[in-house]
Structure 1
Amino acid sequence: MASIGSITDVTPGPEALGRARRHAGLLPDLLVESQRIVASVTAGWHGRRRRGQGENFWQFRPFVDGEPVSRIDWRRSARDDHVYLRDREWEAAQTVWLWADPSPSMLYKSAGAGVSKESRALVLALALAELLARSGERIGYPGVLDPVSARNAAERIAAALVTARPAGGFPATERLKRHCEFVAIGDFLDPVEETTARIDRLARSGVRGHLVQVFDPAEEDFPFTGRTEFRDPESGARLTAGRAETLAQDYRRLFHARREHLAEHCRRLGWSFTPHRTDRLASEALVALHGRLSGAPAAAGGRG
């Protein structure tokens, strides 16, 4: 199934036009919310810092065979028995592509969540655009907005999304070039083989990626009991469980195994993976994602 929940939890698939109108109406409020979140977490923050060509000192790190000897810092190396390189900070603007999954399954919102998965994904995308634009990065949105370097990048994305509603599913990524970064925010409930194949292609082309899996608390906890009818929002297929609680243990095991499979696949590619529940603060995911973009390692475990 693409999503879980009672039959009243998800907007029916044929109402695509109504969904698009509601989506457009939400965007101004989501933009304001994203700006509020950014303001709440950026006190004392600076732009992303990373190793590269520049004038400013970045860090010392151990010398590895094959690297230029000219970059060895002999003064630092003389302090102990190790040889160190002196890295500089990368100063050139980088292109970061953002994408929030518009699939029907993202509309799901249980009683335990204050927002739908779609709303949270869009807030995170807009907040990240706001944050990165302040650092001078070039921001793009596949199929919606070509990369721009502007302080109002978040506003431009929101305005473009009002009229350029992307189709569901993974976006077209032909425009993504080597050394750019791609942030995909969605529930990733397509067959896992399809998702891994898509990110494999991007990784082979030299794109560095970050997946943020947004999920409703009911999708992780499976709180359903008694006779419950579930419906796939993508196809309309229905499943009726006479005693839903009997499915809970197997469901939770499969849910966590699937998430761990995606996380491990991302680790093998050098990508980051951030899980995020919609009953948690959006600022938690934003801080974690900013850390991944800055090169910080992911914390072990955690529910996002």
Structure 2
Amino acid sequence: MASIGQIVEKTSSSEVLSRAQQRAMLVPDCMVEARRIANTVIAGWHGRRQRGIGENFWQFRPYAEGESLSRIDWRRSARDDHTYVRDREWEAAHTVWLWADMSPSMMYKSTMALVSKESRALVIMLALAEILARSGERIGCPGIMEPVSARNAAERLAAAIMHAPVTSGLPDTAMIRGQSDIVLIGDFLDNADTVMSRISPLGRRGLRGHVVEVADPAEETFPYTGRTEFTDPETGEKLVSGRAETIRDQYQRAYLARREALGDGLRRLGWSFVFHRTDHLASEALVAVHGYLSGMPAPRATSLAGGVL
């Protein structure tokens, strides 16, 4: 007879294998959806125009002491009493690290949602990879894929995710060097202070960050009534409420306060924060986070259903 320890170990191994198989079946469909969304969004996008060392003209600006005289545009400067430099558009390849939470809590899908949180997070990540790869950016995923600059970067990322080990929590970012962008997509249901304690060191290292919180509509609206049993997907712990509707207001206040605290902490760090509900179109979150990556942040949202805080 197997010992209790052996039974637990076998059950755990079986769950991990099942989880990996579920993800492997999910990713191809997410890749198809991601490419469809990317094709829709990219039609109205004209590139990441930023000041830098490229060849395309960006703008004129006043000359600053210490700059090379070769950068002065003498024809423009001759028009008035000021000296102007001709700035060019940024064209050098940039590294963007993309990560989607694939812990058990992300598998949740209520009857109010279109898809699971995990499916939506993967679609947003792969669609973003598709768009960025087309513009020549280097795409990487912490702990899963080293940065690559290739047109098929999204497909390579999808393949790497299918074979990645099952993990939980924020990714290991020790391999990230220099100034890069990092996009973190998950439900971030932990206490805001706990999340910020893990994210803050990344900001201090010079990483330019963007956080996308994915939520199921039931998590926000708490539509439950009567006797309801709640199960923590991470720990398996259960909570039974005799009349769930009596705790709705208290729950919603705590839930939204956590989100507000997280958004405030990220803004103080200089990071962007987008929240997105799975009963909305994935393109909404994609456009918002891509706007931040492009230096064109979306307007602050006033709706609780989804948007930018």
Alignment TM-score > 0.5, same fold = yes
- Superposed, 1:110-259 pairs within 5 Å as 110-259=110-259
2: CA distance between counterparts of 1:77 and 1:49?
Answer: 24
Secondary structure at the residue paired with 1:156? helix
Query: Structure 1 residue 93 and structure 2 residue 96: aligned?
Result: no
CA displacement 1:216-256 (0-9 Å, x = unmatched): 00111111111111111111111111111111111111111
CA distance in 1, matches of 2:301, 2:66: 34
Q: CA deviation at 1:67?
A: 8.7
Aligned-residue offset at 1:52: 2.2
Measured in 1, the distance between the counterparts of 2:60 and 2:103 equals 45
CA–CA separation in structure 2 for the residues paired with 1:109 and 1:223: 14
Q: Give me the whole-angstrom Cα distance separating, in 1, the residues matched to 2:182 and 2:156.
A: 18
Displacement, 1:65? 9.0
Counterpart of 1:283 in structure 2 is: 283
Question: Which amino acid counterpart does residue 106 of structure 2 have in structure 1?
Answer: M
* Residue range with higher mean Cα deviation, 35-44 or 180-189: 35-44
CA distances 1:61-85 after superposition (whole Å, capped 9, x unpaired): 6x79999597788987999999987
Whole-angstrom CA distance in 2 between matches of 1:280 and 1:80: 52
Q: 2:7 maps to which residue?
A: none
Secondary structure of 1:275's counterpart equals strand
Contact 2:20/2:166 (8 A) holds in 1:
no
1:262 corresponds to which letter in structure 2?
Answer: L
State how far apart, in whole Å, the 1-side matches of 2:63 and 2:269 are. 22
Task: Say if 1:78 and 1:215 are closer, same or farther in 2 by CA, change over 3 A.
Answer: farther
Partner of 2:55: 55
Aligned partner of residue 29 in structure 2, secondary structure: helix
The equivalent of 2:8 in structure 1 is none
Q: RMSD of the alignment, in Å?
A: 2.7
Q: Counterpart of 1:205 in structure 2: which amino acid?
A: R
Q: Is the Cα contact below 8 Å between 1:144 and 1:166 reproduced in 2?
A: no
Q: Distance in 1 between matches of 2:283 and 2:53?
A: 31
Unmatched segments (≥5 aa) in structure 2: 1-11
Shift of 1:18: 1.2
Q: Conserved in 2, the CA contact under 8 Å of 1:213 and 1:275?
A: yes
Using the size of structure 2 for normalisation, the TM-score is: 0.86
In 1: Cα distance, 2:93 partner to 2:201 partner:
24
The one-letter code of the counterpart of 1:204 is R
Percent identical pairs in the alignment equals 62
CA distance in 1, matches of 2:219, 2:82: 50
Structure 1 stretch displaced more, 40-49 or 102-111: 40-49
Distance in 2 of aligned mates of 1:84 and 1:18: 63
Q: Bigger radius of gyration, 1 or 2?
A: 2
Matched, 1:269 2:269: yes
Query: Map of 1:72-111 to 2, 5 A cutoff?
Result: 87-111=87-111
Maintained 8 Å contact 1:272/1:298 = no
Given that residues 193 and 262 in structure 2 are in contact (C-alpha distance below 8 angstroms), is that contact kept between their aligned partners in structure 1? no
Q: 1:248 to 1:64 in 2, by over 3 A?
A: farther
- The gaps in structure 1 that reach 5 residues or longer are 1-11
- TM-score, normalised with respect to structure 1: 0.87
Give the CA deviation at 1:297: 2.4
Secondary structure at the counterpart of residue 52 of structure 2: coil
The CA deviation string for residues 125-156 of structure 1, in whole angstroms up to 9 with x for no partner, is: 11111000000000001111100000001110
One-letter amino acid of the counterpart of residue 55, structure 2:
E
Aligned position for 2:6: none
Task: Work out the CA distance in 2 between the residues paired with 1:178 and 1:166.
Answer: 28
189-198 vs 176-185, which moves further? 189-198
How many residue pairs get aligned? The number is: 292
1:164 to 1:225, Cα distance in 2 relative to 1, 3 A: same
Structure-1 residue corresponding to 2:33: 33
Instruction: Determine the structure 2 residue equivalent to 1:8.
Output: none
Letter aligned with residue 288 of structure 1: A
User: Following the alignment from structure 1 to structure 2, what is the Cα–Cα distance between the partners of residues 78 and 233?
Assistant: 68
* Partner AA of 2:158 in structure 1: A
SS of aligned partner of 2:110? coil
